[in-house]
Structures are given as C-alpha cells and as structure tokens.
Amino acid sequence: MSEKVIKKGHNDTCDTFCYDEELVQRVQPQIEKASGVEQLFKALSDKTRMKIAYALTLEKELCVCDVANIIGSTTATASHHLRLLRDMNLAKSRKEGKLVFYSLADDHVHQLVSIALIHANE
C-alpha cells in the first residue's frame, strides 16, 4: 500500500495519486447496493416533504386536510407532496369515505427522519 500525503488547507486532496488496490477490490463491488437510494434522499430533501414526513413521525396517521393545515398549504399542495412520498414508498395511504389518510410506509422511514432531525439539531 502506498503512503498517502494530504495537504491541509484549501485543497484537501492527495498530493500524489495512489490507492489501496485490495481495499478498492473489496469495496467497489458493494457500491451498487447504494443505487437508487439517492431518490429516497431526494424525496426527503424537499422542505415541504420533510415537514410532512416529520409530522407523520409525530402522528401515526394524518388526513390530507390535516397535513395541509399543519404545513400551511392548500390541500392540493399537500396532496401532491403526499402522493410523491407514497410513490417513492416512503408513505402509504388509505381511503375512508371521502377522506384520504397517510402514514409512513414503515419504521425504517420513521428512523431515517428521526435520525436526520437528531443530526441536524446537534
């Protein structure tokens, strides 16, 4: 393995190009497991959708009208964002008469939102 020299300051890159071939061969085949995950973070990177996801961590289930009032939007805007969360498998919906209720898809989504909030508030 070659020694890496790192400059401190504005340019935090190696002075020479070298890599650990064994490490690269071990890690590189695993990288494809991350394919598609960026879409999950893209969905949650929107401020409105993150607020909705957070609200759904506080309440198990919310009606579209409740979500609209919580985030201060129209029901059309709330519905649009909820539908996107549902299409990304981050939320699920159920219809009860004329009302549509949304909840987080599973505990993993709840954990992601909770961990992101903890990290942001550190």
Give me the CATH topology for the region 34-120: Arc Repressor Mutant, subunit A (1.10.10)
Could you tell me the residue ranges of all domains in the chain? 34-120
For residue 4, what pLDDT is reported?
Answer: 54
pLDDT (mean) for 57-79: 97
DSSP string, the chain: -PPP-B--SS--SBSS----HHHHHHHGGGGGGGTTHHHHHHHHHSHHHHHHHHHHHHSS-EEHHHHHHHHT--HHHHHHHHHHHHHTTSEEEEEETTEEEEEESSHHHHHHHHHHHHHHT-
CA-to-CA distance for 85 and 112, rounded, in angstroms? 14
Regarding pTM above 0.85, the answer is no
Above 90 in pLDDT, residue 43?
yes
Above 90 in pLDDT, residue 7?
no
pLDDT tens profile 102-111: 999 999 999 9
